[in-house]
Amino acid sequence: MRLPFSILLSCFLFSPKGGLADAPYDQVQDNPTWSHQNLDDVRADKYFHESTFAEHYDGRFGDRKLNYDERRGHLTALMQTYISTMNDIGAETWIMHGSLLGWYWSRKILPWDSDVDAMVSEQSIHHLAAYHNMTVHTFNLHNDDAEDNSHRSYLLEINPHYVNSSLDEVNKIDARWIDTTTGLFIDVTTLRRNATADALGIDGSMMVKDRHHYNYDDIFPLRHTTFEGYPVKVPFMYADILIEEYGEKALSDVYFENHIFDAELREWRPLRYAELNLYQNDGAVMDAHYWAMSIASLYSPD
């Protein structure tokens, strides 16, 4: 059953009932009788498996792709519980990629996004691996109208290959924060020092196992801000990072993925069919740039 988005947001009371460290899967999984894990991996040592039905789901927990509305609510809760837990643990984390772009525009997940991305420091991944691997975090959902479970559990799982800093396509994800109800997850990657560059005397060269690379000063000092209503951190040079990854237009075009940015509500909303035609045929680019300028002035960093 789908929970109304607004109720889901306002009714979460974040009270982890204490971690269940190193839980075996049969204690964590509600539906141990089936699995939708895609085990046809390119390499036997790939640690995290996606589902058979979609890329952004864990097949041990989810059994189907959620529709647009359902997904939004679950992704928001996924992000909020992750941020809240990392803040409690004291792990240094910040949002990246599509999530950072969503933050830039509206301090929210982009409604068409099907995943959430976060990054942690090397120190934090060591800490998470040592003390929090396979911990289950339960959050109460106070909603009298909910036909759904009154609580949600999330699993924090650390890839044992995190200790290996070499570029590695199949084990580039160092940790996952997994919704054990739907199988949706947050991919967590680690920002590492580039040892090759260090050895060459190049200062501040950082890398991620998925081949992204940054300068130390692109990321640090992290900026404190909010995302989905929770305190979160973003990289210092967020605009440069976004432009490098998505191009200049990603920061100015208010028409994207069949959505339009409503500057008044500061929200992306799906385009209705008639609007879609208008924007595709009617030189809407001019309007877009005008809107973008007003948005840019609203969204200077905190």
Ligand X SMILES: *[C@@H]1O[C@H](CO)[C@@H](O)[C@H](O)[C@H]1NC(C)=O
> Which residues from 14-53 bind ligand X, rule CB under 6 A?
22
Interface segment toward ligand X; rule CB under 6 A; list 33-41, 52-60, 100-108, 197-205: 197-205
CB of 19 to ligand X, least distance (A): 13
CB of 179 to ligand X, least distance (A): 18
CB of 129 to ligand X, least distance (A): 4
118 binds ligand X (CB under 6 A): no
**Closer residue to ligand X in complex, CB, 51/159:** 159
197 binds ligand X (CB under 6 A): yes
Count CB atoms within 10 A of the CB of residue 183. 25
164 binds ligand X (CB under 6 A): yes
168 binds ligand X (CB under 6 A): yes
**Closer residue to ligand X in complex, CB, 80/133:** 133
194 binds ligand X (CB under 6 A): yes
Count CB atoms within 10 A of the CB of residue 103. 24
CB of 159 to ligand X, least distance (A): 6
Size of the site for ligand X (CB under 6 A): 20
133 binds ligand X (CB under 6 A): yes
- List residues near ligand X by CB under 6 A: 22, 129, 133-134, 158, 160, 162, 164, 166-168, 194, 196-197, 200, 202, 205, 207, 211, 213
